[in-house]
Structure 1
């Protein structure tokens, strides 16, 4: 436990407190989009604006999770692997358990910060009505719903070149946000793209969170899609690790 706490303090310091670009893109940019769209670019009656502000709050929470996963986590894992940091940690008595536990806690903390910031903006600026129970449920569902994204980010962090990872992260982040209906309604996209979007875990997470904001019962189908993506991503990660291990054994032989 002591090693986990020490590792967590170290990772929070380097990945959150001293990583200003990561904080900007993961927290401040979604917050800026939220303020821009709800206070500047959209108008309507007070009731319509409150409903829109609640929906867009959820969209920017999901968007923040996407950025944290595909840019923050993927880049961190690749950097630690390329620098030899993971190799050095694996040779210590503690091994990599404290490292992976600490990284998971760091990005859970980022989820808490991003959702908390959106709550403050939605309630303080746009007078969105949310109970304590709704806010806690949004946070819990966000923490669970982001798991497929994090597993996918672990997979893409395996690429060797930083430039390649940057391209992959961009190709994933912005198209996924668009087809998930986070920036504008999904009905504005072509029919075939709507079908693709509705199969995304981010669309289903966004739908779940909107149900919570509207104080409606959540959809079991949304959970099934999200968990299916998690299982697929975990299987792909296991296959990748097994293939890589066999390849490394073949090289050493």
Structure 2
């Protein structure tokens, strides 16, 4: 237990308290977009404004999760792997279990922080009515729904060059946010893009969060899509790991 606690303290210090660019992009930028779109670029009746405030809060929560997965997690894993940090940890008696558990807990904490900031803005700035049960449920659903995104982050962290990872992260983050309807309504997109967007886990997670805000029942189909993405991305990571091991073995020979 002590090695895990030490590892977690170390990861929190370097990834949260000492990583200001990551905090800005994953926490403050979605919060800024939320204030901009709900207080400056929206008009209508009080009911319409309230509905949009709740919906856009959910969108920015999901957007924050995308940034954390495709930039924060992927960059961290690649950096630790390229620096030899993971190799050194694997040679210790503790191994890598404490490391991976610590990273998972660290990013779960980031999820709680991002949702908490959105709650504060939605309630404090836009006077959105959210009960404590709704807020807890939103956090729990976000923690589960982000799993496919983090597995994809693990997958892309395997690329060899930092420049390549930066390009891949950008190519994933912004198109996924747009196609998932996080920035503007899906109806503004071409029909074929709407089909693509509704099949993404980000759209389904956003739909689940909106149902919670609206006090509606969750859709089993949304969970099915998220679980399918988790299974497919997990299989891709497994295939990637097996392929890399075989390649390393053949190189040694």
Query: Deviation string for 1:191-232 (max 9, x for gaps)?
Result: 000000000000000000000000000000000000000000
Distance 1:58 1:105 in 2: 22
Query: Deviation string for 1:67-109 (max 9, x for gaps)?
Result: 0000000000000000000000000000000000000000000
Q: Which residue of 1 aligns with 2:161?
A: 161
Distance 1:243 1:184 in 2: 40
Distance 2:75 2:236 in 1: 19
Query: Deviation string for 1:149-188 (max 9, x for gaps)?
Result: 0000000000010000000000000000000000000010
Pairs within 5 Å for 1:35-50: 35-50=35-50
Q: Which residue of 2 aligns with 1:212?
A: 212
Pairs within 5 Å for 1:13-162: 13-162=13-162
How far residue 24 of structure 1 moved from its aligned partner, in angstroms, is 0.1
Q: Which residue of 2 aligns with 1:202?
A: 202
Q: Which runs of 4+ in 1 moved over 4 A?
A: none
Gaps (5+ residues) in structure 1? none
The alignment's TM-score, normalised by the length of structure 1, stands at 1.00
The alignment's TM-score, normalised by the length of structure 2, stands at 1.00
How far residue 50 of structure 1 moved from its aligned partner, in angstroms, is 0.5
Q: Which residue of 1 aligns with 2:223?
A: 223
How far residue 45 of structure 1 moved from its aligned partner, in angstroms, is 1.1
How far residue 43 of structure 1 moved from its aligned partner, in angstroms, is 1.0
How far residue 41 of structure 1 moved from its aligned partner, in angstroms, is 0.9
Distance 2:77 2:157 in 1: 6
Distance 1:28 1:43 in 2: 24
CA RMSD of superposed structures (Å)? 0.4
Distance 2:125 2:9 in 1: 33
Could you say what secondary structure the match of 2:125 adopts?
helix
Q: Which moved more, 1:37-46 or 1:139-148?
A: 37-46
Q: Which residue of 2 aligns with 1:191?
A: 191
Distance 1:5 1:46 in 2: 48
Distance 1:144 1:4 in 2: 22
Distance 1:190 1:167 in 2: 25
Q: Which residue of 2 aligns with 1:237?
A: 237
Gaps (5+ residues) in structure 2? none
